[in-house]
Amino acid sequence: MTNNPLIPQQLRPYIETLRAQKEHLEVHLRKKLPSSLGGRIPHSSLLFRDLNACDMLAYNTLHQQQWNTSSHPLKQYESQPTYTCLGCFWRGELIAVTWRFPQWQMLGIEGLWVASTYVHPALRKRGVAKHLYNASIEVARAQGHRVLYALVDTHHPAAIGSLRTSGFVLTKREEWLMTIQAHLDAQHAKSKLWCILEKDLEKEDER
């Protein structure tokens, strides 16, 4: 909204402050409300499982709502066991997904990464992303992985916040970040600025 040329420059900081206050109040209110009235959705009411070709219609519908594109080739990854999509179901409906795969292996960067995480637009800011990241952590840990990584747009504080609440911390792997940033800059004329977060899976989570 503050990029609107009709808004005077001197008013933009004030508008940003009001927006931040509004988001803070919304988060506080959702913590008080039951899930039936738009509050946070409890983990106990969610089901998590890896998706397969039978889920392709539901996946493509969710993908279209997020990215406004016709479909996403979920089926082409069936034969690639290193590419896995974890789905989150609520009341029998697929409401969120995230991928786990060696995202930057072609750049010589190893490790398992979570990527392309998105939640149904009507259910955002209700704790779903945090539950999805926690489920990804448990699956990766059960599979014997020691670290889980995530590449996040620095202008996406909600995603960074969800990852942090799940125990992810900013990594000091500057060489990785420079390599990935250069790769993305070469693909896009105006690439975003990124940061890498990592989760130590050998460290027990505090409950």
Q: Report the chain's mean pLDDT, rounded to a whole number.
A: 83
pLDDT tens digits for 48-83?
Answer: 999 888 888 888 888 776 655 555 555 555 555 567
pLDDT tens digits for 95-104?
Answer: 999 999 999 9
> Whose CA is closest to 44, among 109, 134, 150, 112?
134
- Residue-level pLDDT at 24: 59
Long-range contacts of 156-165 (CB under 8 A, 24+ apart): 158/124, 158/125, 158/129, 159/117, 159/129, 160/195, 160/197, 162/129, 162/130, 162/133, 163/133, 163/197, 163/199, 164/197, 165/130
Share of residues in the chain with pLDDT > 70 (%): 76
Asked if 35 and 90 touch (Cβ cutoff 8 Å), the reply is: no
Q: Is residue 29 over pLDDT 80?
A: no
Q: Looking at domain 42-200, what is its CATH homologous superfamily?
A: Gcn5-related N-acetyltransferase (GNAT) (3.40.630.30)
- Residue-level pLDDT at 72: 56
Q: Is residue 173 over pLDDT 60?
A: yes
- Residue-level pLDDT at 206: 55
- Residue-level pLDDT at 91: 93
- Residue-level pLDDT at 207: 46
Q: Where are the domains of the chain?
A: 1-32, 42-200
